[in-house]
Amino acid sequence: MAEQLRLMAVHAHPDDESSKGAATMAKYVAEGVDVLVVTCTGGERGSVLNPKLDRPDVLADIANIRRAEMDAARAILGVRQEWLGFVDSGLPEGDPLPPLPDGCFAREDAQFAARRLVEIVRRHRPHVILTYDEDGGYPHPDHIMTHTISSIAFDAAGDPEQFPEAGAPWQPAKLYYHHTFTRMKFEALHAGMLAEGLESPYGEMLDNWFSDPTRDRGPRVTTRVPCAEHFATRDDALRAHATQVDPDGFWFRAPLEVQARHWPTEDYELAKAAIETRLPETDLFAGLR
């Protein structure tokens, strides 16, 4: 293609862009691709997951703090970013689960919410869109809603009869789902840590988190993007979301060089395509370059 390639990643909350596909985005930014992150909510109901920052003053100003963290992460990754403008739904807990709050993202009408995303797609004209699968990557109501409106927007953005007030039609070429957590990946990292004489942080995850085999999305992966040289950038962006990530926690326990040797890719499922494709792939822009 003669024109600049464009990538859009649609995420539910600030910090999701740094824990899912961040090294991929940094790789493409380095190659000159225009990368835009769309963040659906402000993360207003997110818990403070860093024990060093779990203080009343942080909780009282969490919305502004999470916006500042997003700005820092965006700058580290080298991407552009827009807010879709919806309110975080929170993660309901209990048995039975309590109802979601009035006015939150997950309770919005899906067509209404998708219209805002269609307007951004038509304005920025991405060739490729990244988002979550139908389970949201994990069943957070905002992640599931993000999947829903991304799927609607992918189909509607090129149709002049849908949302005609949202700008001139633009059909993205490909829609991908992130598959960050797969059994094959964590088995490889676990074995790699042990083979190099290191204590693995992944044993308990493999014993418990994947006890339900239907949650493993590994068989659905179509596209593995080599991006190990950008793992450090990914981790720096994730640490920028200081209220959401414990810098001494799980995410950072495996040395980057071990990760690069044993699983040097970030992995995706090609969910929809408006162009001919040949699978498997190592490039989100395969068929477009």
Q: Which parts are annotated binding residues?
A: 13, 16, 143
CB atoms within 10 A of CB 283: 15
Q: How many Å apart are CA 39 and CA 48, to the nearest integer?
A: 19
User: Contact at 8 Å (CB) between 190 and 210?
Assistant: no
Q: Which residues are annotated as a binding site for Zn(2+)?
A: 13, 16, 143
Q: Which pairs count as long-range contacts for 57-64, CB under 8 Å and 24+ apart, including other chains? A: 58/243, 62/243
User: Contact at 8 Å (CB) between 234 and 26?
Assistant: yes
* Ramachandran class of 137: left when φ > 0, alpha when ψ lies in -120 to 50, beta otherwise: left
Amino acid identity, position 2: A
Dmax (CA) of the chain: 60
124 three-state secondary structure: helix
> Would you give the distance in Å from CA 173 to the centre of its chain?
19
Retrieve residue 127's tokens.
């060739």
Instruction: Provide CB contacts within 8 A for 74, sequence distance 6+.
Output: 37, 80, 81
